[in-house]
Structure 1
Amino acid sequence: MSLTMERAKSSWLLSFGDVVTLLITFFIMMIALNKGEISKLQRWVDDQVTASYEHVQAQMAQTPLQMVQVYRNARGIVLVINQPDAFISGGFEPSAALQSELMALGQVLPTIPLFALNSQAQSREVIEHAKSDGLVMRIEVNVEGHTDNDAIDPRSSLRNNWFLSTLRAQSVMQTLHSASGLPSQLFSVAGYGEHQPIDSNQTVQGKANNRRVEVLITASFQKQDAP
């Protein structure tokens, strides 16, 4: 077979290689554009969470709370309850002092900007644009209970630290839900017992720091579930 015929037979490989290269380039560009769009949405959500955090701070400054502290982290807005007299000793029911503060906090929650995004034209536009790309806005109020590692009295009906932490989180959630009037589907409860400490359980102060309930308010865009 002549050299010319060999070149003619293999020339299609060059064209095929060009097509594959173009397709790969196209898909890389599409992925890059999509990631850029998602990053913009994430920054927008982060701005909304920060604005809501500043709002909560301002509201709590007007009515100082002794039992609840607020801070902002990468997950969202965190309201922390870890005062020694926050709950009835050895139980899961909030003390009178904590119950009063939870009622006041529940009145603040509906005023947080995150819960009013649909009432703002610009925010609705962003949410609808994301929805057209298959993304939905999720706002959640997660109430998480934590304990130290001291064992529960085996004669107690509380059984173990998981049970105690969950019941404390649930009691806080129920009060906030009732006082705020926010939809039930926003709320969730988790009990972690002693398994997510923030301090050493080898000291009295460390154990006190670990006995806490955290109310985490988060917002994010997530893939819409298929119908």
Structure 2
Amino acid sequence: MSQSTDRAKSVWLLTFGDVVTLLITFFILMIVLNKGEISRVQKFTDLQLDGSYAQLLKETSEESFLKVERNSNGILILIADDQAFEKGGLTPSVQLQNQLKQLGKALSDLSIFKLDLGILPREVRKHVSQENLQWRAEVNIAGHTDNDPINPFSGLRNNWFLSTLRAEQVMRLLYESSTLDKELFGVAGYGEYRPLVDNDSPEGKAKNRRIEILITATFEKTR
């Protein structure tokens, strides 16, 4: 093989290698930039949740049955009081009903449920538009019980059934006292199968008998 042919092949290989290197660099750059945009969107979302959390803390400061927390999933409102429901029953106490009605009104005023997308930072607005994202906030209510068996004369089939009906009662009161669309609410019942602690003591059982109201907000793909 001639030297000129070898040189031509070497030049071609070098050129091909340069192109591959440039492509890899380009894709790495795009990944880094995309991660940066996602980070900005997440920071914006967290700021909105933080603001609504502060609103709820103020609005529920005197509501004895409602404990408001901020966690990585959103805003958690915990109802874990033996006076919240009658033992083995599904109807909230009068006091809890009144507090849930006040909470429903407070939910209507939360900024995450009436977000003006005009306040989005320019970079976030651009990413949201390019990715065809829309803002969505939700209220999901989950019921939980201890592992005590259901009274066979109660008319309730099992703890799953009881936890779901309790969650549904809470959802109904929140929805009816708020101005939020019904599609923003979700209900689930887990019975005794997602305990916070062991059910081997009265204190443990009391912690596991609870309603969790989780308020979430995020940007999601338009359907």
Q: Tell me if both proteins adopt one fold, taking TM over 0.5 as the criterion.
A: yes
Shift of 1:135: 1.9
Does residue 209 of structure 2 align to residue 211 of structure 1?
yes
What percent identity do the matched residue pairs reach?
50
* Separation (CA, whole Å) in 1 of partners of 2:142 and 2:9: 68
**CA 171–154 in structure 1, closer or farther in 2 if over 3 Å, else same:** same
Structure 2 unaligned segments of length 5 or more: list them: none
Contact 1:77 1:216 in 2 (8 A): yes
Equivalent position SS for 1:117: coil
Residue in 1 that maps onto 2:119 = 122
Shift of 1:128: 4.8
Residue in 2 that maps onto 1:188 = 186
Does residue 23 of structure 2 align to residue 23 of structure 1?
yes
Residue-by-residue CA offset, 1:113-153 (whole Å, 9 max, x unaligned): 212212x7414978753133222212110101111111223
Residue in 2 that maps onto 1:41 = 41
Matches for 1:149-168 after TM superposition, within 5 Å: 149-168=147-166
Contact 1:127 1:137 in 2 (8 A): no
Shift of 1:90: 1.3
- Which deviates further from its counterpart, 26-35 or 132-141? 132-141
Residue-by-residue CA offset, 1:168-200 (whole Å, 9 max, x unaligned): 111100110010120111110111111221122
Matches for 1:1-227 after TM superposition, within 5 Å: 1-61=1-61, 64-118=62-116, 121-123=118-120, 128-129=125-126, 130-225=128-223
**CA 86–43 in structure 1, closer or farther in 2 if over 3 Å, else same:** same
Report how many aligned residue pairs link the two structures: 222
Structure 1 unaligned segments of length 5 or more: list them: none
Q: Which runs of 4+ in 1 moved over 6 A?
A: 124-127
Amino acid at match of 2:38: I
Amino acid at match of 1:159: R
Contact 1:127 1:136 in 2 (8 A): no
Contact 2:55 2:110 in 1 (8 A): yes
Cα-Cα RMSD: 1.9
Shift of 1:10: 4.1
